[in-house]
Structure 1
Amino acid sequence: MQYRRFGRTELQMPVISTGGMRYQDGWKDKPLSEVDPEVHKNMEATIARSIEVGINHIETARGYGCSERQLGVILPKFPREELIVQTKVGPNADSDQFRADVLDSLERLQLDYVDLLGIHGLNNTETTHWAVREGGCLAVAKELQKQGKVRHIGFSTHGGCDEIIEAIRGGDAHGGFDYMNVHYYYIYQRNWRAIQEAHQRDMGVFIISPSDKGGKLYAPSDKFAALCDPLHPIEFNDLWCLRHPEIHTLSLGAAKPSDYDLHLSAIEKIDQTDELVPPIEAKLEAAMRDIAGVNHPEAMSWTGVPEHHDAPGGHNLPIILWLYNLARGWDMDEYARGRMNLMGNAKHWFPGQKVAELADISDAQLREAVQASPFAEQIPELLRAGVERLGGEEVKRQSAGG
């Protein structure tokens, strides 16, 4: 395993982390007595495999069902000083409730302290305000840090780039955040400015779900897999992300011990990154250009296209365009369909109205909304085509955060 300095925390972080979203027994909290013994046995084996290969960073969240409770049984079997344990607790308008939730998470984990505490889901102005206001959740976390219950404080975010930068800067008044969990991977590069903002403050940068939210790369489309040859898409994405020294670790939401194998294979090839990655990038860009007329699926999304809160009907036009390009350029229909039909059901975790309701918005309204885009004339037709291709049965979020 390779390690990187996790920003100003000075922790030596493995470049692959074990995230706790997929191996626990369900998405609702339950007593340990109700946990399926076979599920728990698999979770123990998965954590053991993680430690065996040098992945000593175990990351979870209060919202991940009974993950904390199960880890509270498993982690004491390993030397505490060799582990980097992270949990995440959602912000709350009531900072006393946030404090109670953090203390309860420590009790579930059966730990005296966590190495990393993330304020979970600073996704918009409201949730960020709950965290960074005077006497808010960040101030409470700093108090717990002084008491030795928390070593380092960060935040996780599914917000847009501007919202992430707002959260980073909002924390400065309290001494700043030590790290952040953020989405950034080959198919979704929008948040690079936020990563640079964090780097300027020497913050640790943890990439959320690069294999799942990064395109369901464990079950890639045939076309995408062929374009990534001679690498598996997971290997390509890992190397692409870790090519950036500003990025310190990639989350692997392992469901079973063998889920580490492809990531370990990528790490073995890390010295070959400059040889292996650029030719694959070129193939992917050419395939996208042949179908969509642009090099990358995001190329139509972030210039002159309003965010959902400024768009007609509250629709997330940039994301609809992005998902449609993923489908038509690289045949990533399954991934794109799942994300498309989550809109309207995920609140600030994945904002935007239900795409079926885009039919209520006229082409003239859409064209006026995107008039600053170089693709303004094409966009209404592309949005309609995207909804027709990918719209369908609504999707619900599994967890209270991720």
Structure 2
Amino acid sequence: MIYRSFGRTELNMPVISCGGMRYQQTWDDALLDVVEDENQRNLEATIRRAVELGVNHIETARGYGTSERQLGLVLPKLPRDEIIVQTKIAPEADPEVFRKHCLESLERLNLDCVDLLGLHGINNYKLHWHAVRPGGCLEVARQLQAEGKVRHVGFSTHGLLPQILDTINTDACGGFDYVNLHWYYISQWNWPAVQAATARDMGVFIISPNDKGGLLYKPSDKLVELCQPLHPIVFNTLFCLRRPEVHTLSLGAARPSDFDLQLSAMELVPKADELVAPIVEKLERALFDATGFKADAVLTQSLTKEIPAWDQDAPGYMNAPMVLWLRNLALAFDMVEYGKMRYNLLGRGGHWFPGLSAAHLDTLDDEQLAKAFKKSPHADKIVGWLREAEDLLGGEAVKRLSQE
């Protein structure tokens, strides 16, 4: 295993973390009496396999159903000074509710202290305010730190870049020690946030590069071909870890064997630049051939920077940048299954995946659409692209993992 210093925390962090959102019994906030013996045996075997491989960062959240409670049966069996435990708690309007939830999570985990406490899902400015306002949840987290119940405090986010940057750059209560965010090959628009976190000496944890990063555990045949001679998971791992600003990648393991493929990349990390470059070239060529756009326009979302996102300025609250991004991935890399999964969450994923799809495009009048897209140099083509995305990706709703 390779380890990197996790920013100002100075924790010796493995570059692969064991995410805790796939091995639990249920997403319901249920008691342990619902947990089947076989599920608990598998969870313990998964954790022990992780630690055996050097993946000693175990990450979960209060919102992951029975995950915390089930881990609470395993963690006391492990050497406490050899593991790094992280949980995440959603910020609340009432900070005392947040405090109560934090203390409950410690009880569930059967620990006196967690190494990392993340304010979970600061995805918009309302939640940002709940966190950083005077007397808010960040202040409570720092109080818990002073009481010896928490060692370091960070946040996780699925938000838009401007809000992520504002949360990273807050000075309230000394700011945050680390951030969990999305950044990988197909989604590079949060790189300025990674740089901002680095400038503040924050730890950088990449969320779900195998799942949200393209359903890479069941990639399209075209993506497999383009990533040769590497598996897409290995390519994406090397793409991320070639940047020293990135400290760890989450791996949401459902079984002990789920570590094998990604950890096969470890011996290749010293040659990451050399191995990644020709694959990036092939991917960029495929993207241009399919869409007519260079990769930096699509993968950094500069193509859609003049298009309103999902707020009140967007036509029909449509998340047009997300829709167009998914269209381009589907056309370039045959990532249709991934595109359908993400596209059909629009309107159903709450603040985790905000805005609507293009399913209601034909109910919007031409004047409304023209006004929304007039600043884009591609204004005359956008409606056609949105309609194409609906034809390609629309269909039955796909639930978020936490709703399955």
TM bin (shorter chain): over 0.9
Residues 346-361 of structure 1 aligned to structure 2 (within 5 Å): 346-361=349-364
Residues 162-201 of structure 1 aligned to structure 2 (within 5 Å): 162-170=162-170, 172-201=171-200
Q: Which residue of 2 aligns with 1:27?
A: 27
- Of 300, 306, 309, 2:308 maps to 306
Q: Which residue of 1 aligns with 2:321?
A: 318
Deviates most, 388-397 or 223-232: 388-397
1:354 shift after superposition:
4.3
- Of 387, 392, 398, 1:395 maps to 398
The answer to whether the Cα contact below 8 Å between 1:18 and 1:58 also exists between their aligned partners in 2 is yes
Residues 256-267 of structure 1 aligned to structure 2 (within 5 Å): 256-267=255-266
- AA paired with 1:346? G
Cα distance in 1, alignment partners of residues 187 and 303 from structure 2: 11
Residues 9-28 of structure 1 aligned to structure 2 (within 5 Å): 9-28=9-28
Q: Deviation per CA, 1:280-320, whole angstroms, max 9, x where unpaired?
A: 00000101111100122435643211111121111100000
Q: Which residue of 1 aligns with 2:5?
A: 5
How many residue pairs are counted as aligned between the two chains?
400
1:363 shift after superposition:
4.4
The answer to whether the Cα contact below 8 Å between 1:300 and 1:322 also exists between their aligned partners in 2 is no
* Matched position secondary structure for 1:356: coil
The answer to whether the Cα contact below 8 Å between 2:358 and 2:386 also exists between their aligned partners in 1 is no
Q: Which residue of 1 aligns with 2:90?
A: 90
* Matched position secondary structure for 1:377: helix
Q: Which runs of 5+ in 1 are unaligned?
A: none
1:376 shift after superposition:
1.8
Q: Which residue of 2 aligns with 1:384?
A: 387
Deviates most, 301-310 or 106-115: 301-310
Q: Which residue of 2 aligns with 1:132?
A: 132
Cα distance in 1, alignment partners of residues 165 and 43 from structure 2: 35
- AA paired with 1:326? L
- AA paired with 2:363? D
Cα distance in 2, alignment partners of residues 188 and 57 from structure 1: 24
Q: TM-score, normalised by structure 1?
A: 0.97
- AA paired with 2:342? R
Q: Which residue of 2 aligns with 1:374?
A: 377
Q: Deviation per CA, 1:121-170, whole angstroms, max 9, x where unpaired?
A: 10000000000000000000000000000000000000011110111123
1:364 shift after superposition:
4.3
* Matched position secondary structure for 1:244: coil
Cα distance in 1, alignment partners of residues 302 and 41 from structure 2: 46
- AA paired with 2:382? I
Cα distance in 2, alignment partners of residues 359 and 347 from structure 1: 23
* Matched position secondary structure for 2:50: helix
Q: Which residue of 1 aligns with 2:42?
A: 42
Q: Which runs of 5+ in 2 are unaligned?
A: none
Q: Which residue of 1 aligns with 2:57?
A: 57
- AA paired with 2:331? R
Q: Deviation per CA, 1:217-268, whole angstroms, max 9, x where unpaired?
A: 0000000110000000000000001111111000000011111011111111
The answer to whether the Cα contact below 8 Å between 1:8 and 1:204 also exists between their aligned partners in 2 is yes
Residues 216-365 of structure 1 aligned to structure 2 (within 5 Å): 216-296=215-295, 297-298=298-299, 299=301, 301-309=303-311, 310-365=313-368
Cα distance in 2, alignment partners of residues 345 and 132 from structure 1: 27
Residues 139-158 of structure 1 aligned to structure 2 (within 5 Å): 139-158=139-158
Deviates most, 46-55 or 391-400: 391-400
Cα distance in 2, alignment partners of residues 367 and 262 from structure 1: 47
The answer to whether the Cα contact below 8 Å between 1:301 and 1:317 also exists between their aligned partners in 2 is no
- AA paired with 2:361? L
- AA paired with 2:386? L
Q: TM-score, normalised by structure 2?
A: 0.97
The answer to whether the Cα contact below 8 Å between 1:343 and 1:355 also exists between their aligned partners in 2 is no
Cα distance in 2, alignment partners of residues 364 and 325 from structure 1: 25
The answer to whether the Cα contact below 8 Å between 1:303 and 1:372 also exists between their aligned partners in 2 is no
The answer to whether the Cα contact below 8 Å between 1:242 and 1:248 also exists between their aligned partners in 2 is yes
Cα distance in 1, alignment partners of residues 237 and 366 from structure 2: 40
* Matched position secondary structure for 1:118: strand
1:395 shift after superposition:
2.3
Deviates most, 259-268 or 228-237: 259-268
* Matched position secondary structure for 1:269: helix
The answer to whether the Cα contact below 8 Å between 1:342 and 1:396 also exists between their aligned partners in 2 is yes
The answer to whether the Cα contact below 8 Å between 2:323 and 2:357 also exists between their aligned partners in 1 is no
